[in-house]
Amino acid sequence: MVIQKEKKSCGQVVEEWKEFVWNPRTHQFMGRTGTSWAFILLFYLVFYGFLTAMFTLTMWVMLQTVSDHTPKYQDRLATPGLMIRPKTENLDVIVNVSDTESWDQHVQKLNKFLEPYNDSIQAQKNDVCRPGRYYEQPDNGVLNYPKRACQFNRTQLGNCSGIGDPTHYGYSTGQPCVFIKMNRVINFYAGANQSMNVTCAGKRNEDAENLGHFVMFPANGHIDLMYFPYYGKKFHVNYTQPLVAVKFLNVTPNVEVNVECRINAANIATDDERDKFAGRVAFKLRINKT
């Protein structure tokens, strides 16, 4: 024989819920007395307080091993890469000589990029260093902060300095300047105490033919040792990394040219196929003329 369960009315269900939330006879709130709720709250307060204290202590201990100025691990940056300016998407430098808007954006980017290199700013903030040797500034047991940086004056960029230049870095005449910079690596002695320079060439034979002639500033793409080592952004507050400017004089117009620039230094490898930017940079250059 099947016994049918008595169906409760809506009012009965509401009364049961009211009694579950607060039972006036047993003085229970949601099935627990005040003492029971107090013990539960005390447990979770102690539990989460302990977790918070444990996390805080762990973070404090870890921070004691980390320097405010130097990364603890930087093995992924063992070999510095190269980059170009003006900075463009996909590293394409495209110039339409007759269309001012096509190259004015490059000019504006370069003006902003080269502003810290103005001779007046460099003379105010940085030192005149002795060329051909590293500018080392050891702490010797006492924090030597901030580190001084060597001057790299904008005038060293010659015809690519943009100073009093009616050609706007050569972009208005189809002879653009492209700037090569080496990425910063903390405490890296670039060149291994030997001279180093940047060289550029077309990636393929047809690129070399279409690239034409170019000049470099400083001469021969030289990068001096005095700009190394780099001590980090917080230590080297006024550091301006050395640049090499390449002025392309007669690129074949209306043709895309693949250019590759490399740093020639004793301790910088440029043949790692797994890293296309290790010690080198490749970009596309196109000068459109009607």
In the predicted model, is pLDDT for residue 139 greater than 90?
A: no
Domain around 144:
82-288
Residue 169: inside a domain: yes
229: CATH: 2.60.40.1660
Peptide bond before residue 138 is cis, with ω within 30 degrees of 0 = no
Residue 62: inside a domain: no
Residue 242: inside a domain: yes
Residue 254 is classified by DSSP as T
Provide the number of structural domains found in the chain.
Answer: 1
Residue 12: inside a domain: no
What value does the mean pLDDT of the chain take?
A: 89
pLDDT recorded at residue 144: 77
pLDDT recorded at residue 79: 79
Q: How far, in Å, CA of 233 to CA of 117, rounded?
A: 17
Residue 215: inside a domain: yes
Q: How far, in Å, CA of 161 to CA of 152, rounded?
A: 12
Residue 283: inside a domain: yes
Of 139 and 152, the one with more pLDDT: 152
In the predicted model, is pLDDT for residue 163 greater than 70?
A: yes
Residues 217, 249: contact at Cβ < 8 Å?
Answer: no
pLDDT recorded at residue 69: 65
pLDDT recorded at residue 172: 94
Residue 41: inside a domain: no
Residue 182: inside a domain: yes
Residue 81 is classified by DSSP as B
Residues 235, 146: contact at Cβ < 8 Å?
Answer: yes
pLDDT recorded at residue 226: 96
**Residue 214 pLDDT grade (very low, low, confident, very high; cuts 50, 70, 90):** very high
Residues 139, 44: contact at Cβ < 8 Å?
Answer: no
Full DSSP string of 18-51: HHHHEETTTTEETTB-HHHHHHHHHHHHHHHHHH
